[in-house]
Chain A
């Protein structure tokens, strides 16, 4: 029954997003598609931060690894969108494995600093390799190349549904993961790593798995973003793209499945709406964020869990 309610909630969200495809005006249609891809990135981040308790300040490198891992072979090798999507995801997986093996030798603040440094190095690499990456300008993926399985991803409706498919797969994948014993071990590591180790769990291996899974999902979001919106740019590897998923997850509710989506949607629309009203939109956004932090410190879904639905994963 409890499982039924949970699946109903998440299916309901997917159904609402599906229905919106047919009613949203053109501008919002593109915005929600973008939000779904970025929420996928936030869900990847949430696996590491929300469930495993590891705060990374360098996730932009995984997002960018997916994006450039897709765009570079398409641009320079003439690879099709399907295989390029795989090289994008694979690039993020390999990078996250390498970064995880090194960064997990540290804990706490040191882990944050090490991931930040790796991310800065990745961003600089993109800029320095301008001959291939086109540096600050970035790479435009031509409309004609954005065909996947016969579907034209430059078509707004197709792009929206593809973004929804990716979002849904990661949403239900996360829901499945956190309800498995392995998901509980990740939470146990977050709560008390030493204690988890003393119950016989190899916490390094579990954390490495979480880094790789989180990095790979983030990379999948980056690759999808590049393919759906036709652009790969160095700005996506900058530090603020590592801070965004942290904010989205904190606002939506760390360690909740649905929270990253709520946080991304809230933040995206907050900035979007206020920027149309005043040039001081960042001030308004900042005040709203402070208020939310004061009155809903566990984030939107975290507060729902605290007040009404204790079993919300």
Chain B
């Protein structure tokens, strides 16, 4: 379980998160929502150790990982798929996956399982990542993060700019991981996607939680999100 306790963080003197607290439980998809600048991506960067915490704690199963160097965080079992994919474009698909597996010494079964989720990648193992289509690149970015065999997975707008079939594939993968017990924190702008996948939604405003709702509340009252987000 991942817990953020009253964290404050930002970029140099600019504070973006002001006492953010939230919990991401195993086998649950928590959607992080909010307008541009609310602090969604900043929260993910703070969890991953990319931004120093001014105060507060990031607890992974009780261990405070909030002040670890960034490279130590994924070794604890947190996978992160940032916005914009960011593949190693000069390396092949196989080499991108190998890089993902090596840091946690993941066994070959992990890669087999990942390739079973994304069979199209199996046909392109020798192809350079930079020459893949947009959808295939997102598959590879997701697959590479899964090669870390994460307990917690952070996804920052994973369906942005993808065609519907690819969006469905990514959504099914996220749901499958949830069912396998992975704790998932998802930043998503599309409200239909939130309603289709979220077990819980957390709405940020000015770097703190403004409102929370569980799946039953979201489905019973779909306008709840629109009201809070003002869309």
Is the CB–CB distance between B91 and A192 below 8 Å? no
User: What residues of A have a CB within 8 angstroms of the CB of B128 in the complex?
Assistant: 310
Instruction: Name which residue of chain B comes closest to A310, CB basis.
Output: B128
Given contact pairs A197-B70, A199-B99, A199-B144, A191 touches B50 in the complex (Cβ within 8 A): no
In the bound complex, CA of A190 to CA of B91 (Å):
11
8 Å CB contact of A198 from B82, B87, B89, B91: B82
User: What residues of B have a CB within 8 angstroms of the CB of A202 in the complex?
Assistant: 69, 71
* Among A192, A196, A197, A202: residue with most chain B CB under 10 A: A197
Q: Does B100 contact A (CB under 8 A)?
A: yes
User: What residues of B have a CB within 8 angstroms of the CB of A255 in the complex?
Assistant: 90
8 Å CB contact of B88 from A188, A198, A203: A188
Shortest beta-carbon distance from B195 to chain A in Å: 29
Is the CB–CB distance between A188 and B70 below 8 Å? no
Instruction: Name which residue of chain B comes closest to A194, CB basis.
Output: B50
In the bound complex, CA of A32 to CA of B180 (Å):
62
Residues 30-48 of B contacting A (Cβ, < 8 Å): 48
User: What residues of A have a CB within 8 angstroms of the CB of B202 in the complex?
Assistant: none
Instruction: Name which residue of chain A comes closest to B147, CB basis.
Output: A199
Is the CB–CB distance between A198 and B104 below 8 Å? no
Shortest beta-carbon distance from A299 to chain B in Å: 14
Residues 103-135 of B contacting A (Cβ, < 8 Å): 103-104, 128
Is the CB–CB distance between A192 and B70 below 8 Å? no
In the bound complex, CA of A218 to CA of B31 (Å):
52
Q: How many residues of B contact A (CB 8 A)?
A: 27
In the bound complex, CA of A199 to CA of B88 (Å):
12
Residues 81-103 of B contacting A (Cβ, < 8 Å): 82, 86-91, 95, 98-100, 102-103
User: What residues of A have a CB within 8 angstroms of the CB of B69 in the complex?
Assistant: 202
Is the CB–CB distance between B88 and A191 below 8 Å? yes
User: What residues of A have a CB within 8 angstroms of the CB of B86 in the complex?
Assistant: 192, 194-195
Given contact pairs A194-B50, A199-B148, A187 touches B71 in the complex (Cβ within 8 A): no
| A interface, size bucket | 20 to 34
Q: Does B75 contact A (CB under 8 A)?
A: yes
8 Å CB contact of A200 from B50, B82, B148: B148
Q: Does B74 contact A (CB under 8 A)?
A: yes
Residues 159-217 of A contacting B (Cβ, < 8 Å): 181, 184-185, 187-188, 190-192, 194-203
Counted as pairs of residues, one from A and one from B, with CB atoms less than 8 Å apart, the total is 65
User: What residues of B have a CB within 8 angstroms of the CB of A197 in the complex?
Assistant: 70-71
* Among A192, A198, A203, A310: residue with most chain B CB under 10 A: A198
* Among B73, B88, B102, B104: residue with most chain A CB under 10 A: B88
B197-218: contact bitstring with A at CB < 8 Å (1 yes, 0 no)? 0000000000000000000000
Is the CB–CB distance between B50 and A184 below 8 Å? no
Of the A-B pairs whose beta carbons lie under 8 Å apart in the complex, a sample of 15, sorted by A's number, is: A184-B99, A187-B90, A187-B91, A188-B88, A188-B91, A192-B88, A194-B50, A195-B88, A199-B74, A199-B103, A199-B148, A200-B72, A200-B73, A203-B71, A255-B90
- Interfacial residues, chain B to chain A (CB-CB below 8 A): 48, 50, 69-75, 80, 82, 86-91, 95, 98-100, 102-104, 128, 144, 148
- Interfacial residues, chain A to chain B (CB-CB below 8 A): 181, 184-185, 187-188, 190-192, 194-203, 255, 310
Nearest 8 A/B pairs, CB to CB: A200-B103, A200-B74, A191-B88, A200-B75, A195-B86, A202-B71, A188-B88, A197-B70
Q: A184-B91, A199-B103, A199-B148 are in contact. List 20 more A-B contacts (CB 8 A).
A: A181-B99, A187-B91, A191-B87, A191-B89, A192-B87, A192-B88, A194-B86, A195-B86, A197-B70, A198-B50, A198-B71, A198-B80, A198-B82, A199-B99, A199-B144, A200-B72, A200-B75, A200-B103, A200-B148, A203-B71
